[in-house]
Amino acid sequence: MGYIIKEVKDNFKRYKFSNQVCIWSITMTMLIIGMFLLFAINLQMVINDLKGSVEIVAFLKGGVNSRRVSQLKAKIKKIKNVKSVYYSSPEDALIEFTRDSDLKKQIEFIGENPLPASFGIHLNIESAELMAQAAREIGKFDSIDEVRYGREEVNSIIKFVNTVKFGGLVLVVILGVMTMTIIGYTIHLAVHLRGQEIRVMKLVGATSWFIRMPFLVEGIMQGCAGGVLSAGLLYVVYRIVLTKIEGIEFLPVLYIAVIVAAGVILGLAGNLLGIENHLKERGAL
């Protein structure tokens, strides 16, 4: 263990440039991924608000008494995924519509209130299909004249979310592969410079894993440094954005821990890739 620690310490001094390349490669990769996560979390908050604003409106037939209204409301609440139900009388609807001056003039021209009573229904849903299913069930009730809901709006929201998630996954994979390749190539060059030293170690009986260990420890340290740096830079970006856009949230502590852990994994994998390539080329495995 003492030898490994000494080797790692000496390597960081002797190969500053290669270590800096590895650390900053990990830092920039994890920073971009962290920015995507930051965007995704705040986007999800906006989407949840949008979903909450989408509702089913069920219009009642004329002449429905208050007792029947209560019965219908109770039945609608029992439907799966229904979050809340509120009743709007013709008078309530008239007050709402007459806030628009043009609509108010049209209603005054008619001379009577043409608006029906209705139920506004909010759902806990993740797809337009579930909303359509709930709308069909509500439409089967007696005294319900017509059911309307924003199917297109819900579809647009869900498609946008799925596109962002897929794009983010592709981005993470591409950045991860690029970073591992850069680190692997950099470490391969560093190991090549130490080829004579490694050959001597093999001649005196050092095992392949004994040779690998300093590089793997370096990878862990590079990854940890890159992960911590990326988290710090991400917080700086967050504070700058916060001055322009109010109400955005920073990543939870768990996400920060995942970013640092992912940096460690990238550093470890990149160093392992570099040393393995060198040992295979030299037939040292």
40 and 175 assigned to the same domain: yes
The CA distance from 199 to 45, in Å, is 57
103 and 8 assigned to the same domain: no
129 and 245 assigned to the same domain: no
82 and 199 assigned to the same domain: no
100 and 137 assigned to the same domain: yes
30 vs 215: which has the higher pLDDT: 30
- In a 13 Å sphere around the CA of 279, the CA atoms on its Cβ side amount to 18
Question: Residue 218, Cβ neighbours under 10 Å: how many?
Answer: 26
CATH of the domain at 66: 3.30.70.3040
End-to-end CA distance of the chain: 21
H-helix segments, the chain = 2-14, 16-53, 66-77, 90-97, 101-110, 128-139, 151-193, 195-203, 208-242, 253-282
State which of 95, 123, 149 marks the end of a domain: 149
pLDDT at residue 231, as a whole number: 92
The CA distance from 83 to 76, in Å, is 10
Rounded to the nearest integer, the mean pLDDT of the chain is 77
Containing H/E element for 88? strand 82-88
pLDDT band at 228; cut points 50, 70, 90: very high
178 and 201 assigned to the same domain: yes
pLDDT band at 234; cut points 50, 70, 90: very high
* 50-59, 107-116, 215-224, 231-240: which is most confident: 231-240
pLDDT band at 236; cut points 50, 70, 90: very high
Q: Which two tokens stand for residue 33?
A: 């991924």
145 vs 96: which has the higher pLDDT: 145
167 and 261 assigned to the same domain: yes
**Is 285 strand, coil or helix?**
coil
State which of 109, 132, 149 marks the end of a domain: 149
Quick one: which of 9, 28, 25, 10 has its CA closest to 230?
28
10 and 70 assigned to the same domain: no
Quick one: DSSP state of residue 83? Answer: E
145 and 18 assigned to the same domain: no
Residue length of the chain: 285
pLDDT at residue 285, as a whole number: 47
pLDDT digits (tens, 9 = 90+) for 141-170: 888 888 887 667 667 777 777 787 788 778
172 vs 133: which has the higher pLDDT: 133
pLDDT at residue 110, as a whole number: 61
State which of 85, 115, 149 marks the end of a domain: 149
Beta-bridge mates of residue 282: none
89 and 136 assigned to the same domain: yes
141 and 90 assigned to the same domain: yes
Examine the pLDDT at 256 and tell me if it is beyond 70.
yes
Examine the pLDDT at 284 and tell me if it is beyond 60.
no
214 and 132 assigned to the same domain: no
pLDDT at residue 50, as a whole number: 64
3-state secondary structure 90-142: HHHHHHHHCCCHHHHHHHHHHCCCCCCCEEEEEECCCCHHHHHHHHHHHHCCC
Q: Which domain holds residue 170?
A: 2-48+157-282
pLDDT digits (tens, 9 = 90+) for 27-60: 888 888 888 888 888 877 776 666 656 678 888 8
Domain total for the chain?
Answer: 2
Containing H/E element for 85? strand 82-88
